[in-house]
Structure 1
Amino acid sequence: MASGRFYHNAEHVRATLHALDSRGVLTPALALAVWGHDLIYDARAGDNEERSAEAFDGWLASQNASADLRGEIRALILATKHNTPPVTRAEALLVDADLAILGASAADFTAYDAAIRQEYVHVPGLLYRVGRKKVLRGFLDRERIYTTPEFAELEAQARENLAGAVGRL
């Protein structure tokens, strides 16, 4: 993974895998999707998930993965755009695991929030604050941040973390 990744890096992959595994829901397809979901991450681009899905699909094809598996992994990776509700249970689990950091301890969330700011250091302060508030409020405005029972216990802490971050912006 390239430099300039302060959050979307190998530690995020490890944490996402752990979030699924510790809840007993990690499948081979989910593991592959976790490895591929942030394969390409450019804070200046808006098509990271599409590019990651394409690159990972190329790798899966080179490994002679079935068309069904490749389609499933592509859909899982694209679900991590977080712009539409997940369609399948596997998508919901991956999305919840990807967002698990929102419901982490206050200290871990603060470190995550600082790492995201580092990834977007190219964005001037005022523009960053406006954009970041919009993203964080988007999660707060959801009826539920976590849609699976396995991650429901993170909801209250996530809301507290997000509200605090919005307030600080």
Structure 2
Amino acid sequence: MKQGEELLAPAEAFALPFYAQPHRAYHNADHVRAVLHALDARGLLTPALALAAWGHDLVYDPRASDNEERSAKVFGEWLREQDLSPELGEEVRRLILATRHDAPPTTRDEALLVDADLSILGADSRMFAAYDSAIRQEYAFVPEEAYRAGRARVLQSFLDRERIFTTPEFAGLEAQARVNLASALERLQ
């Protein structure tokens, strides 16, 4: 059985063609690398988190609501083919599913991955604006009025949380994230 560390380079090679799909303006390899950097810069990157980062947006269709489930399935099948230990494969699956952002994380590693995935929300205003613009590109098929309403609901859902970032390592991004989200919400109205 292989452990996670020896699969990091092959996982990146497997994932890169998915992340290079032309409809991805934000959910691409740069996003994955930013998630990895956010974890690594804080001394938190483990093989399981790295594998989950590469797998979490593997399947990305802005019209679908089951991208994380499909990503976990496709990436999980690839990991099994690589003879990854079943326990680590299950951990990676749980981590990927945590990035649905539909329920609070239940483990520290889930919380770390979710916070790293959301770290763009707490970026400086220029980087956040680029992210916001890239999301609009990914949803170019949605008429403007419908996009504004839907995007406003998403942004407001983050603002309505008691805390956006649940780990101490990412808590420093909270204030800037709230400023960014409030400004983006204002622009949508």
Q: Note whether the superposition's TM-score is higher than 0.5.
A: yes
Q: Please list the CA deviations of residues 2-46 of structure 1 after superposition, one character each: whole Å capped at 9, or x if unmatched.
A: 111000000001100000000000000000000000001011111
Which residue does the alignment assign to 2:14?
A: none
**1:8 and 2:6 aligned:** no
Which residue does the alignment assign to 1:165?
A: 184
Q: Please list the CA deviations of residues 79-133 of structure 1 after superposition, one character each: whole Å capped at 9, or x if unmatched.
A: 0000000000000000000000000000000000000000000000010001000
**1:101 and 2:100 aligned:** no
Q: Which amino acid aligns with 1:26?
A: L
* 1:4-153 correspondence runs (5 A): 4-153=23-172
Q: Which amino acid aligns with 1:118?
A: Q
Structure 1 distance, partners of 2:86, 2:104, is 24
Structure 2 distance, partners of 1:69, 1:135, is 32
Q: Please list the CA deviations of residues 46-105 of structure 1 after superposition, one character each: whole Å capped at 9, or x if unmatched.
A: 110000000000010001111111110000000000000000000000000000000000
Structure 2 distance, partners of 1:127, 1:66, is 44
Structure 2 distance, partners of 1:110, 1:19, is 19
Q: Which amino acid aligns with 1:58?
A: E
What TM-score results when the alignment is normalised by the length of structure 1? 0.99
Task: Note the residue ranges of structure 2 that are not aligned, 5 or more in a row.
Answer: 1-18
Structure 2 distance, partners of 1:44, 1:122, is 9
Task: Note the residue ranges of structure 1 that are not aligned, 5 or more in a row.
Answer: none
Structure 1 distance, partners of 2:148, 2:100, is 20
Structure 2 distance, partners of 1:84, 1:71, is 18
When the two structures are aligned, how many residues end up with a matched partner?
A: 169
Structure 2 distance, partners of 1:137, 1:68, is 36
Task: State the Cα RMSD in Å.
Answer: 0.4
Secondary structure, aligned partner of 1:162? helix
Q: Which amino acid aligns with 1:75?
A: R
Q: Which amino acid aligns with 1:12?
A: H
Structure 2 distance, partners of 1:7, 1:43, is 11
% identity of equivalent residues = 67
Which residue does the alignment assign to 2:10?
A: none
